[in-house]
Amino acid sequence: MRNFLNGCFVGVLVCFAVLIMLLSSGIWPIRATADPSPTEARLARFSLGRALKHYAAPRPNPVALSEANLLAGLKLFEDNCAGCHGTGGGRSHWGSSNFYPRAPQFGFERPTMPDWQLFAVVKDGIRYTGMGGWDGEMPEDDMWRVVTFLTHLASLPPSVEGKWRLREK
């Protein structure tokens, strides 16, 4: 048993040393313009999902679902997010080509997370990606308005849908 534990310990040390050597060798790829591999993208999605389950507690959306709030959410999105996430009228070239991982283009791939998880992403951002947190940059009610807009992309009233689809990036 003792030998087995010693073996595990040495194994962990060797893995750690190899990782440090790899990171310090300078061959670790850093270009954001490279295409993310499907395996890497799946792993990143998996760990994001697990992390959100772990730290973001379900909470009610304090913003009422109304046309005024959806329009306000759309405006906030266009002013702050569309540069990377595109609009209903077009993809952001920057967001869909030059970020690693790519910024999802919400006009073409709707977010699937529940609203409280989207809120957690908007508020605190996602580490090691281009998605910064908006904490302290945007009032929480406005973050909820953007989230309300994003969770209703499939059922926007015609007045909001028209503006969303018309606006090109």
Number of H helices and E strands in the chain, helices first, is 8, 0
Note whether 140 and 164 are within 8 A (CB): no
Distance CA 47, CA 61 (A): 25
Q: Which is nearer to ligand HEC, 6 or 45 (CB)?
A: 45
Q: Which is nearer to ligand HEC, 126 or 161 (CB)?
A: 126
Q: How far is the CB of 143 from ligand HEC (least distance, A)?
A: 7
Q: How far is the CB of 138 from ligand HEC (least distance, A)?
A: 6
Task: Look at residues 48, 50, 76, 47 and name the one whose alpha carbon lies nearest to residue 139.
Answer: 76
How far from the centroid of its chain's Cα atoms is residue 100's Cα? 11
Q: How far is the CB of 38 from ligand HEC (least distance, A)?
A: 13
> Which spans of this chain sit near ligand HEC (rule: CB under 6 A)?
44, 48, 80-81, 83-85, 99, 101, 103-104, 111, 113, 118, 121-122, 126, 129-131, 134, 146
Q: Which is nearer to ligand HEC, 8 or 42 (CB)?
A: 42
CA angle 76, 81, 82 (to 5 degrees): 100
Is the peptide bond prior to 101 cis by the omega test (within 30 degrees of 0)?
Answer: yes
Q: Which is nearer to ligand HEC, 72 or 81 (CB)?
A: 81
Q: How far is the CB of 158 from ligand HEC (least distance, A)?
A: 23
Q: How far is the CB of 159 from ligand HEC (least distance, A)?
A: 21
